[in-house]
Every structure is written in C-alpha cells, then in structure tokens.
C-alpha cells in the first residue's frame, strides 16, 4: 500500500533532499505533491524519473494526503501544519515552530521513535540539525552511564542556512579566485569565506544565540532529561554540507573509552571512525551525501570525573533534516499508523 505524500518547501535545499531520500529509500509513495510558494509554483522537479510540477501551497493542498513533510520556514508551518493535520495528514515538521510544544513529540528515530505514536495535534517535530546528530551519538552513552553535563561547540555548514547561503559562499569563492572584492553578504552577518562566524540566529538577552538555545532545550526534551546541564556554542564555517561538533561529556558513572567505543560501534545510525594513528576520524567532506552519524576522537577528559570527549559529524541536509523526517514516516508506516 502506498501513500499520498506532500512536501511543503519542495524547491528548497531540504525539500529537494526530501525528494531524494523518499526515492532512494523506496518509501511507498503512490502520489507525490510538491508544494511551495506562489513564486516557486510552476517549477518542475524530478521524482522517480518523472517531472512533477510544483504547486502553490493553499488550504486545499492536503486533500487525501497521508504524510505532509514541511520545510518551508516557521511561519508557513505555524499557518499550514494545523490545516494539513486537520485534513487527516500526519505532519512531520522540519522547522522550530512546534519543537517545544508539550503536545508535539520531538523525535529522532534512533533515540525515541516511540514518542511519534503520541501526537495529539497530528504533528511531529523534527529537531534542529545539530541536535539530531548529537543525540544519536549520545543516547547509547547516556543509557549506559547517565549524562550529567554536555558542552558542545559546533562547526556548521552553510547548507544549514538554505540554498541562498550555499550560493553566497560560492559567489564569494568565485570573487576571491578572480581577485575581486568580497560580495556584500546577505545571508550571514559577515563574509563566510575563509572565516568562522560565531553566530547562528539572533542573540538572546542572556547572550546565547537562538541556535544555541535550540540545542539546549531540544536535547533535554528528546532525552527526557529536563534539568540536564547543556552548554552550546554554535559557529558557522565555510563548509558547503556537513556539520561537525566537538562534544565534552560528564557522566554520573564511570565510562571507559573502550566501553564507549563498543557502544558506539553497535549503536543504530552511528559509524565509528576512530583510528587517530592512521589519521582516521570523521570529516564533513566524507559525510556529505551519506546517512550515518560519524563519531571519532573518543578519549578521556581527565580534567573532570567521568569525562569523555567526542568528535561527531553528519550531513545536515540528510540526517539533520530530510532523512530524519522520512525515518519518522517509515516508523509510523511499519506500525500501521499512516
């Protein structure tokens, strides 16, 4: 049995990745409905060898739709996701609009898939890309030794800011190669080429950025630990695709490096790449276009009791967005809930 699936924001970077993931994983789609703004309507996208015309999003877009994947920005999700759910679709939303709503489950299938089965509003939230890859790596360690504190610094690719951000980095690279001045940035607050920008999202009154607060709040909700101590510093770097994270952990109980590697080597969705002597550790370039969360540089932090350090890398468009959403839909289909 197949399903009528709508993708809202189908022409964006994540929307296009959703189409690829649906096709590559052979999700049972009987009819695909690509939706976008009126400005993008009329464009054509390829799915399973066919050209599909993008339709303008409106209130009638969800008739007969069983799964609605949203990735068109928070305001669109807040406006249209309840409409889609009211029409009978299971909404899987990739924006921050509903992530902290207590009536909306925040789901990473490798960590808390069962939460997707309780959705009073008919909406399931996809976490932030940097949060997803972190909790996939940390969940097996948390189950073993109970996390006490997380300190994470992220190195996030420009693709996390959308297609315009990818184009902005490309334009700056072309200008540099031609010996021309940097084009004025429009997506980021400063030129991103050859630099690191320690700001993702607006600054809050407490000094954190919006992105940093997302990592704190979402990690607590997914792991079911509302008082877990989490500190995050999020940085945009001149990488096209693939987020990297340096993570420092403190546990309630001892956890050896050997045991951590053992747990990670068998954890769902994780690939352990950890042979420093051979210069083998996760790289964003190698993660791009692939599904796993890669973990390496597993080592003790002797400065604290029960401390470990990790390096975690994943493709932010796939596991950090499109793949996670499709995996949620797969889980529901397998349990007869679509």
Which pLDDT score is estimated for 318?
Answer: 96
Q: Both tokens of residue 188? A: 């980021």
Please state which CATH class domain 131-316 belongs to.
Answer: alpha beta
DSSP state of 113: G
Q: What ranges do the domains of the chain cover? A: 3-127+321-334, 131-316
Sheet holding 147-156, edge to edge: 229-236, 147-156, 243-251, 307-314, 293-300, 270-272
CA distance 90 to 93: 10
**Entry pTM:** 0.96
Of 275, 320, 330, 156, the C-alpha closest to 338 is 330
Q: Which helix (H) or strand (E) holds 20?
A: helix 13-24
Contact (Cβ atoms closer than 8 angstroms) between residue 189 and residue 197: yes
Task: State how beta strands 44-47 and 50-53 pair.
Answer: antiparallel
Of 138, 114, 109, the C-alpha closest to 126 is 109
Contact (Cβ atoms closer than 8 angstroms) between residue 175 and residue 182: yes
CA distance 120 to 125: 12
Contact (Cβ atoms closer than 8 angstroms) between residue 241 and residue 156: no
The torsion region of residue 309 among left (phi > 0), alpha (psi -120 to 50) and beta comes to: beta
Contact (Cβ atoms closer than 8 angstroms) between residue 44 and residue 9: no
Q: Give 96's Cβ-side CA count (13 Å radius).
A: 13
The per-residue b/e assignment along 265-288, b for 16 or more CB within 10 angstroms, e otherwise, is eebebbbbbbeeeeeebbbbeebb
Which pLDDT score is estimated for 205?
Answer: 98
Q: Which helix (H) or strand (E) holds 55?
A: strand 55-56
Which pLDDT score is estimated for 1?
Answer: 76
Residue with tokens 């009819």: 31
> Would you tell me which CATH number, out of the four given (3.80.10.10, 1.10.1740.10, 3.40.50.720, 3.40.50.10490), belongs to the domain 3-127+321-334?
3.40.50.720
Of 28, 22, 62, the C-alpha closest to 46 is 22
Catalytic annotation, residues = 129, 243
Encode the chain (338 residues) as per-residue pLDDT tens digits: 799 999 999 999 999 999 999 999 999 999 999 999 999 999 999 999 999 999 999 999 999 999 999 999 999 999 999 999 999 999 999 999 999 999 999 999 999 999 999 999 999 999 999 999 999 999 999 999 999 999 999 999 999 999 899 999 999 999 999 999 999 999 999 999 999 999 999 999 999 999 999 999 999 999 999 999 999 999 999 999 999 999 999 999 999 999 999 999 999 999 999 999 999 999 999 999 999 999 999 999 999 999 999 999 999 999 999 999 999 999 999 999 99
């Amino acid at each position: 049995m197949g399903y009528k699936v709508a993708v809202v924001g189908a022409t964006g970077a994540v929307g296009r990745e959703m189409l690829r993931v649906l096709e590559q994983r052979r999700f049972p789609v009987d009819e695909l409905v690509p939706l976008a703004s009126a400005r993008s309507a009329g464009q054509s996208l390829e799915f399973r060898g066919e050209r599909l015309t993008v339709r303008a999003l409106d209130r009638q877009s969800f008739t007969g739709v069983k799964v609605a994947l949203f990735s068109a920005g928070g305001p669109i999700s807040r406006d249209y996701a309840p409409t889609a759910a009211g029409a009978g679709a299971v909404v899987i939303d990739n924006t921050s609009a509903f992530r902290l709503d207590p009536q909306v489950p925040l789901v990473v299938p490798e960590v808390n898939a069962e939460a997707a089965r309780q959705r009073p509003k008919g909406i399931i939230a996809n976490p932030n890309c940097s949060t997803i890859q972190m909790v996939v790596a940390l969940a097996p360690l948390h189950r073993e030794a109970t996390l006490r504190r997380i300190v994470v610094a992220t190195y996030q690719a420009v693709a996390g800011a959308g297609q315009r951000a990818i184009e902005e980095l490309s334009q700056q690279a072309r200008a540099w190669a031609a010996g021309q001045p940097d084009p004025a940035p429009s997506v980021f607050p400063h030129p991103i080429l050859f630099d690191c920008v320690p700001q993702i999202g607006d600054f809050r009154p407490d000094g954190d950025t919006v992105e940093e607060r997302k990592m704190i709040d979402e990690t607590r909700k997914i792991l079911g630990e509302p008082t877990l101590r989490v500190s995050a510093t999020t940085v945009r770097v001149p990488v096209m695709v693939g987020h990297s994270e340096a993570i420092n952990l403190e546990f309630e109980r001892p956890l050896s490096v050997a045991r951590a590697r053992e747990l990670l080597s068998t954890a769902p969705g994780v690939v352990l790449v950890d042979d420093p002597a051979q210069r083998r550790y996760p790289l964003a370039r190698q993660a791009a276009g692939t599904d796993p969360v890669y973990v390496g540089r597993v080592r003790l932090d002797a400065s604290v009791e029960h401390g470990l350090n990790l390096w975690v890398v994943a493709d932010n468009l796939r596991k950090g967005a499109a793949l996670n959403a499709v995996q949620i839909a797969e889980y529901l289909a397998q349990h007869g809930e679509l």
